[in-house]
Amino acid sequence: MGREILPHERELRAWLRKRVATPSDVDDIVQECYCRLAQLRNVAHIENGRAYLFSMARNMLQQQLKSARVVHLETIADLDAAQGCDELSPERIASARGELRRVQSALEALTERARRIFLLRRVDGMSQKDIAELLDVSETVVENDASRSLRKVLHLLTEPDIADLPAAAKGGRAHARSR
Protein backbone atom coordinates (compact mmCIF):
# COMPACT_ATOMS: atom_id res chain seq x y z
CA MET A 1 0.00 0.00 0.00
CA GLY A 2 2.89 2.34 0.78
CA ARG A 3 4.01 2.26 -2.84
CA GLU A 4 0.62 3.59 -3.92
CA ILE A 5 0.41 6.30 -1.24
CA LEU A 6 3.91 7.69 -0.62
CA PRO A 7 4.47 9.05 -4.14
CA HIS A 8 1.49 11.38 -3.62
CA GLU A 9 2.67 12.98 -0.37
CA ARG A 10 4.31 15.97 -2.06
CA GLU A 11 1.18 16.68 -4.11
CA LEU A 12 -1.02 16.24 -1.02
CA ARG A 13 1.14 18.65 1.00
CA ALA A 14 0.94 21.26 -1.78
CA TRP A 15 -2.83 20.85 -1.93
CA LEU A 16 -3.11 21.19 1.86
CA ARG A 17 -0.80 24.26 2.02
CA LYS A 18 -3.32 26.14 -0.15
CA ARG A 19 -6.11 25.32 2.30
CA VAL A 20 -4.72 25.45 5.87
CA ALA A 21 -3.33 28.24 8.00
CA THR A 22 -0.05 26.78 9.25
CA PRO A 23 2.57 24.28 8.10
CA SER A 24 2.02 22.33 11.32
CA ASP A 25 -1.62 21.80 10.28
CA VAL A 26 -0.36 20.26 7.03
CA ASP A 27 1.97 17.98 8.97
CA ASP A 28 -0.80 17.00 11.39
CA ILE A 29 -3.21 16.05 8.61
CA VAL A 30 -0.59 14.09 6.65
CA GLN A 31 0.49 12.29 9.82
CA GLU A 32 -3.12 11.47 10.71
CA CYS A 33 -3.66 10.07 7.21
CA TYR A 34 -0.67 7.77 7.63
CA CYS A 35 -1.87 6.69 11.07
CA ARG A 36 -5.31 5.83 9.78
CA LEU A 37 -3.86 3.96 6.81
CA ALA A 38 -1.55 2.00 9.11
CA GLN A 39 -4.54 0.93 11.21
CA LEU A 40 -6.31 -0.62 8.24
CA ARG A 41 -6.12 -4.40 8.41
CA ASN A 42 -7.28 -4.85 4.85
CA VAL A 43 -6.66 -2.48 1.96
CA ALA A 44 -8.32 -4.57 -0.74
CA HIS A 45 -11.23 -2.11 -0.90
CA ILE A 46 -8.89 0.72 -1.95
CA GLU A 47 -8.92 0.89 -5.72
CA ASN A 48 -7.08 4.20 -6.13
CA GLY A 49 -4.49 5.02 -3.46
CA ARG A 50 -4.19 8.67 -4.47
CA ALA A 51 -7.95 9.27 -4.42
CA TYR A 52 -8.26 7.48 -1.07
CA LEU A 53 -5.43 9.55 0.46
CA PHE A 54 -6.87 12.84 -0.79
CA SER A 55 -10.38 11.90 0.38
CA MET A 56 -9.05 11.13 3.85
CA ALA A 57 -7.16 14.44 3.98
CA ARG A 58 -10.17 16.38 2.68
CA ASN A 59 -12.42 14.80 5.31
CA MET A 60 -9.95 15.62 8.09
CA LEU A 61 -9.64 19.17 6.82
CA GLN A 62 -13.42 19.54 6.78
CA GLN A 63 -13.58 18.29 10.37
CA GLN A 64 -10.85 20.73 11.35
CA LEU A 65 -12.67 23.61 9.66
CA LYS A 66 -15.98 22.69 11.27
CA SER A 67 -14.41 22.77 14.70
CA ALA A 68 -12.59 26.05 14.08
CA ARG A 69 -14.15 29.23 15.41
CA VAL A 70 -13.50 31.23 12.24
CA VAL A 71 -13.85 29.63 8.84
CA HIS A 72 -13.03 31.39 5.60
CA LEU A 73 -15.81 30.94 3.07
CA GLU A 74 -13.28 30.57 0.25
CA THR A 75 -11.78 27.53 1.97
CA ILE A 76 -15.16 25.82 2.26
CA ALA A 77 -15.91 26.63 -1.37
CA ASP A 78 -12.53 25.15 -2.40
CA LEU A 79 -13.28 21.96 -0.47
CA ASP A 80 -16.74 21.68 -1.96
CA ALA A 81 -15.27 22.08 -5.44
CA ALA A 82 -12.56 19.52 -4.66
CA GLN A 83 -15.19 17.05 -3.56
CA GLY A 84 -16.54 16.98 -7.09
CA CYS A 85 -13.12 15.97 -8.45
CA ASP A 86 -13.45 12.34 -7.44
CA GLU A 87 -15.20 10.41 -10.16
CA LEU A 88 -18.13 8.42 -8.82
CA SER A 89 -18.03 5.30 -10.90
CA PRO A 90 -20.76 2.65 -10.56
CA GLU A 91 -18.17 0.41 -8.89
CA ARG A 92 -17.34 3.04 -6.25
CA ILE A 93 -21.03 3.66 -5.61
CA ALA A 94 -21.70 -0.07 -5.22
CA SER A 95 -18.66 -0.43 -2.95
CA ALA A 96 -19.79 2.51 -0.80
CA ARG A 97 -23.28 1.05 -0.47
CA GLY A 98 -21.79 -2.27 0.58
CA GLU A 99 -19.64 -0.54 3.20
CA LEU A 100 -22.69 1.34 4.47
CA ARG A 101 -24.58 -1.95 4.85
CA ARG A 102 -21.64 -3.41 6.78
CA VAL A 103 -21.55 -0.36 9.09
CA GLN A 104 -25.31 -0.60 9.65
CA SER A 105 -25.00 -4.30 10.50
CA ALA A 106 -22.16 -3.56 12.91
CA LEU A 107 -24.19 -0.81 14.59
CA GLU A 108 -27.18 -3.17 14.90
CA ALA A 109 -24.97 -5.48 16.96
CA LEU A 110 -24.76 -2.83 19.71
CA THR A 111 -27.25 -2.34 22.49
CA GLU A 112 -29.61 0.60 22.00
CA ARG A 113 -27.79 2.77 24.58
CA ALA A 114 -24.35 1.85 23.23
CA ARG A 115 -25.46 2.57 19.66
CA ARG A 116 -26.89 5.95 20.67
CA ILE A 117 -23.71 6.89 22.58
CA PHE A 118 -21.56 5.72 19.67
CA LEU A 119 -23.52 7.82 17.15
CA LEU A 120 -23.67 10.90 19.37
CA ARG A 121 -19.92 10.69 20.02
CA ARG A 122 -18.60 9.61 16.61
CA VAL A 123 -21.13 11.09 14.19
CA ASP A 124 -22.45 14.15 16.00
CA GLY A 125 -19.13 14.89 17.74
CA MET A 126 -20.71 15.49 21.14
CA SER A 127 -18.53 15.49 24.25
CA GLN A 128 -18.79 12.72 26.83
CA LYS A 129 -20.09 15.23 29.35
CA ASP A 130 -22.88 16.42 27.04
CA ILE A 131 -23.88 12.86 26.18
CA ALA A 132 -23.94 11.91 29.87
CA GLU A 133 -26.23 14.85 30.61
CA LEU A 134 -28.49 14.09 27.64
CA LEU A 135 -28.88 10.41 28.54
CA ASP A 136 -28.84 10.96 32.31
CA VAL A 137 -25.93 8.57 32.90
CA SER A 138 -22.45 9.08 34.29
CA GLU A 139 -19.52 10.13 32.13
CA THR A 140 -17.88 6.82 33.02
CA VAL A 141 -20.80 4.94 31.47
CA VAL A 142 -20.48 7.05 28.32
CA GLU A 143 -16.71 6.50 28.18
CA ASN A 144 -17.00 2.74 28.71
CA ASP A 145 -19.87 2.27 26.24
CA ALA A 146 -18.14 4.42 23.62
CA SER A 147 -14.89 2.49 23.99
CA ARG A 148 -16.52 -0.96 23.90
CA SER A 149 -18.74 0.06 20.99
CA LEU A 150 -15.83 1.33 18.95
CA ARG A 151 -13.87 -1.87 19.53
CA LYS A 152 -16.89 -4.00 18.61
CA VAL A 153 -17.73 -2.00 15.47
CA LEU A 154 -14.09 -2.07 14.32
CA HIS A 155 -13.95 -5.82 14.95
CA LEU A 156 -17.15 -6.44 13.01
CA LEU A 157 -16.00 -4.26 10.12
CA THR A 158 -12.65 -6.02 9.88
CA GLU A 159 -14.25 -9.47 9.94
CA PRO A 160 -16.18 -9.60 6.64
CA ASP A 161 -17.91 -12.89 7.41
CA ILE A 162 -19.31 -11.53 10.67
CA ALA A 163 -20.40 -8.08 9.48
CA ASP A 164 -22.13 -9.41 6.37
CA LEU A 165 -24.40 -11.79 8.27
CA PRO A 166 -27.51 -10.25 9.87
CA ALA A 167 -27.73 -13.25 12.24
CA ALA A 168 -24.26 -12.43 13.57
CA ALA A 169 -25.39 -8.90 14.36
CA LYS A 170 -28.37 -10.26 16.29
CA GLY A 171 -26.18 -12.74 18.09
CA GLY A 172 -23.74 -9.96 18.95
CA ARG A 173 -26.57 -7.89 20.44
CA ALA A 174 -27.68 -10.78 22.63
CA HIS A 175 -24.09 -11.41 23.70
CA ALA A 176 -23.60 -7.74 24.53
CA ARG A 177 -26.71 -7.75 26.74
CA SER A 178 -25.52 -10.77 28.69
CA ARG A 179 -22.36 -8.98 29.82
Q: What is the pLDDT of residues 93-123, one digit of tens each?
A: 777 788 788 888 888 999 999 999 988 887 7
What CA–CA distance (Å, rounded) separates 6 from 10?
Answer: 8
Q: What is the pLDDT of residue 119?
A: 87
What band does 68 get if pLDDT is binned at 50, 70 and 90?
low
Are 76 and 97 found together in one domain?
A: no
Q: Identify residue 76 by its one-letter amino acid code.
A: I
pLDDT at residue 75, rounded to an integer: 56
Judge whether 140 and 117 are in contact, CB under 8 Å: no
Residues 154 and 100 in one domain: yes
Is residue 53 a contact partner of residue 10, using CB atoms and an 8 Å limit? no
Residues 100 and 174 in one domain: yes
pLDDT for position 137? 94
Q: Which of 29, 62, 83 is where one domain is finished?
A: 83
Decide if pLDDT at 163 tops 50.
Answer: no
Q: Quote the CA–CA distance of 158 and 41 in Å, as a whole number.
A: 7
Q: Report how many domains make up the chain.
A: 2
Segments forming the whole domain that contains residue 163: 90-178
Classify each residue of 71-94 as buried b or exposed e, where b means 16 or more C-beta atoms within 10 Å of its C-beta. eeeebeebeeebeeeeeeeeeeee
Q: Among the three residues 83, 103, 124, which one is the final residue of a domain in this structure?
A: 83
Q: Do the beta carbons of residue 121 and residue 150 sit within 8 Å?
A: no
Predicted local distance difference test score (pLDDT) of residue 130: 92
CA distances from residue 160 to 41, 42, 66, 101, 156 in whole angstroms, order as listed? 11, 10, 33, 12, 7
Give me the pLDDT at residue 125, please: 82
- Asked if 16 and 65 count as a contact pair (C-beta separation under 8 A), the reply is no
Do residues 62 and 110 both lie within one domain? no
